[in-house]
Structure 1
Amino acid sequence: MTTEPELSDSLRTFGAVLKALRETSGLTQEEFATRVRYSAAYVAKIEQGKRFPPDKLPERAGEALGQVATKVLEAALRSLRRKAGLASWFRQWAGIEEEAVSLYAYECRAIPGLLQTEAYARAVFERNLPPLTDEQIQRQVEARLERQALIVRRPNTAFSFVVEQSILERRVGGNTVTRGVIDHMLTASQRHNVEIQLMPLRQEDHCGVEGQMYLAETPSHEWIGYTEGQRSSNLITAPNDLSVLLQRYGKLRSQALDCRATVSLLERMRGAL
């Protein structure tokens, strides 16, 4: 339930890559440090995997090592940000998300990560306990926004979201943040590969009482389920358990408002803010 061991390994890998690129160019640490405008001691710490590399490092390294080095370090830095921003117990599911041909989500606690705005994500992380540092919050927000590119990057993946109306009524972050989330959901709902349904506040036949669930269909057309608890998660692969989740999700879709009614409700909720 901690990200530190894997993140430390990744920092050391990044440092080793940077060192190899520098040595291939025939530069000492001191010479490289001068060209990238950081101290030699700081460069040494990065190469040893003891410091998180600054955002400007790949660009500056490109000036000294060439554009290939920039591309390599940018890719490595993106991977680092992801590891720093996603909890270790979530990363496996995040990888499954990236390959899914269908992705279903039922949320009763917070707006699904793939539909969150930057302001909403920041408001969620700012309320984390124990408190996060500003740097940790920024990394987590960046990781969440990077995940959201899936919806645009995978136009042939079918995304379905069933979201409790009560989540929006809670107004995490205040009215302005909530208005932004509603606008974002309305925009996302216009995409051909996205369906968003709100579960109304009153639904006597509600079958989602056991909590949130996520379901992904893999490229080989197998299903994987995912549930989350307090700082923990569970990947579900047993066929009988997946059958239960698929049945429940299908029922939830029938109990929630349809897509057009959802848009109408979202517009009314936005107008009331």
Structure 2
Amino acid sequence: MPARKDPDASASVPCFYGAELRYQREQAGLTLQTTVEGSYYAVSYLSEIERGQRRMPRDLAVHCDKVLKTDGFFERHCAAVHKARRAGHAEYFADALEMEQRAESIEEWAPTLIPGLLQTADYARAIVRAAMPRASDDEVENKVAARMSRTAVFEGANPPKFWAILDESLIRRQVLPDEQMAELLEHIAEVVRTTHSILQILPESAGIHAFMMGELRVMTFADEPPVAYAESLHSGQLIDFPALVKQYRESYDLLRAAALSPAASLALIEAAAEDYRNGKHRARLE
């Protein structure tokens, strides 16, 4: 039997909160099962909270305080922990961010921006600054750091299977100096290879297709129904209605069929990176 892995309470506010929950539960002599009895939540849900991987809902916090006799500690602090968890991210992205960290698979369609899990710090900084021109440097760097921290999902014991489809315009539109554009494209290729992910490019020649409007990600889980997350400027929507999620997944499959093969897509990205490095990109545009 593998040794128990205790959460690192110093890693983050959610990890500290989860470690305290486990400590209080074990001090009370209770198992995960006996602690959740009488609530609407599963043992696995409470276990993920203890590991700092999931948000504590207020009603469960109230239940835990009652069962563990902790005088309202978990209820008082659950909102602060939730805020700390999404630090640097938009409020509307909070639920999708949490789900990303426990997803079995993530499938993204990116027509206008490189997906966050594939971005470099330079690219993230450029798009954050473009969206928030009046933000302070500290605000921008906070968001960049939060964006970069998301790649930790690939470092866990069971990383999600990642599949991204990018519109070809994303590798042609120059949002950074030549050298940084080359680094961005090389970084994308490296992430795809090292994480055994799949990336496809939807070519400019594809014409009209199923996802002409908006970004999308579909996430599946081991013990929950799949969800879709659609995002636009300053807003995002988490979609869990089964029939609608099914429609999104079917549209994504149609998009997948219209895109270049993974091998051809990586070759296109690497060729574009080389063009940026040797100045051919500008010559091609001219």
Normalised by the length of structure 1, the TM-score is: 0.68
**Hey, what's the Cα distance between the residues in 1 that align with 2:257 and 2:122?**
31
* 1:116 pairs with 2:119: yes
What secondary structure does 2:246 align onto? Answer: helix
Q: Match of 1:29? A: none
Relative to structure 2, which stretch is displaced further, 124-133 or 229-238?
124-133
**Hey, what's the Cα distance between the residues in 1 that align with 2:158 and 2:190?**
15
Aligned residue-pair number: 201
Q: After TM superposition, give the deviation of residue 123 of structure 1 in Å.
A: 1.2
* 1:272 pairs with 2:272: no
Q: After TM superposition, give the deviation of residue 208 of structure 1 in Å.
A: 1.3
Q: After TM superposition, give the deviation of residue 211 of structure 1 in Å.
A: 1.9
Relative distance call for 1:184 and 1:247 in structure 2 (3 A) is same
| 8 Å CA contact retained: 2:107, 2:219 | yes
Q: Match of 1:195? A: 198
Give unmatched runs, 5+ long, in structure 2: 1-12, 21-79, 277-286
1:79-98 residue pairs with structure 2 within 5 A?
Answer: 83-98=86-101
**Hey, what's the Cα distance between the residues in 2 that align with 1:216 and 1:176?**
33
What secondary structure does 2:139 align onto? Answer: helix
Q: After TM superposition, give the deviation of residue 201 of structure 1 in Å.
A: 1.4
**Hey, what's the Cα distance between the residues in 1 that align with 2:179 and 2:83?**
31
| 8 Å CA contact retained: 1:199, 1:256 | yes
Q: Match of 1:129? A: 132
Q: After TM superposition, give the deviation of residue 155 of structure 1 in Å.
A: 4.6
Q: Match of 1:177? A: 180
* 1:255 pairs with 2:278: no
1:100-249 residue pairs with structure 2 within 5 A?
Answer: 100-153=103-156, 155-249=158-252
**Hey, what's the Cα distance between the residues in 1 that align with 2:97 and 2:116?**
11
Give unmatched runs, 5+ long, in structure 1: 1-9, 18-76
**Hey, what's the Cα distance between the residues in 2 that align with 1:82 and 1:127?**
24
Q: After TM superposition, give the deviation of residue 233 of structure 1 in Å.
A: 1.1
Cα shift readout 1:235-260 (whole Å, capped 9, x = no counterpart): 11111111110001111111111110
Q: Match of 1:61? A: none
Normalised by the length of structure 2, the TM-score is: 0.65
Amino acid in structure 2 at the alignment position of 1:266: I
Relative to structure 2, which stretch is displaced further, 248-257 or 120-129?
120-129
Amino acid in structure 2 at the alignment position of 1:112: P
**Hey, what's the Cα distance between the residues in 2 that align with 1:79 and 1:184?**
31
Relative distance call for 1:111 and 1:154 in structure 2 (3 A) is farther
Cα shift readout 1:8-38 (whole Å, capped 9, x = no counterpart): xx9xx99xx9xxxxxxxxxxxxxxxxxxxxx
**Hey, what's the Cα distance between the residues in 1 that align with 2:157 and 2:208?**
34
